[in-house]
Amino acid sequence: MIRAILLTLLLFFISSCGYKPTSIYTKDVLGESIYAEVKISLEDPENSVIIKDAVNEAIISQFHSIASNKKNATSKLYLVLKSVSFVPIEYDKNGYVTAYKTHVLLQSRYIDKENKNHTITTSGNYDFPIESNSLISDTKRFEAIKFASAKALDELRSKIAIRRIK
């Protein structure tokens, strides 16, 4: 009997704490459908395409919205890849690089469902190992950029949610 009462009180306390995931706040700002456009860099078009894929995945998995065309979207998201860098972070006993950190810097401009413009710069990092005395393969490079971009988009989602809360 006492266990049931304590369990009921605990469930009531947990359910009434007011917690909402950031995706709820983000959805309040951006709405149900988002148009996303990634500016293609003429110097590095491959990375821009990778980021476009990461954005489409983030719209569904992080923002809990659907990707839409420009005409039907409740909000618009414009991204520019400002920089991508690879920095050695670990060496073996012979001085060869065995791990890198990828750093992606994104500039985001979004028009929310109330038609207000906002600009946010975000960054994402991703660490990955390579074999000693080898170069970064294209597959590893693309994967690292995609994961770092996903982290930058996660930061974007958080910053949008914080603006909504304020």
Domains annotated for the chain, with CATH where assigned, are: 21-165 (3.30.160)
- State the DSSP H helix or E strand holding residue 81, giving kind and residue range, or none if neither: strand 75-91
The SS3 call for residue 162 is helix
Q: Does 158 have pLDDT greater than 70?
A: yes
Q: Could you report the per-residue pLDDT of 82-107, keeping only the tens digit for each?
A: 999 999 999 989 888 999 999 999 99
Q: Could you report the per-residue pLDDT of 40-69, keeping only the tens digit for each?
A: 777 777 777 888 888 888 888 888 888 889
What integer is the mean pLDDT of 11-39? 79
How confident is the model at residue 28, as a pLDDT?
85
Using 50, 70 and 90 to split pLDDT, how confident is the model at 2? Answer: confident
Using 50, 70 and 90 to split pLDDT, how confident is the model at 14? Answer: low
How confident is the model at residue 65, as a pLDDT?
86
What integer is the mean pLDDT of 141-154? 92
Distance CA 5, CA 66 (A): 42
- CA distances to 51, 133, 143, 145, 150 from 137, rounded to whole Å, are 18, 12, 10, 12, 20
How confident is the model at residue 60, as a pLDDT?
84
How confident is the model at residue 152, as a pLDDT?
94
How confident is the model at residue 18, as a pLDDT?
65
Count Cβ atoms below 10 Å from residue 12 Cβ, excluding itself. Answer: 10
Q: What percent of the chain has pLDDT over 90?
A: 43
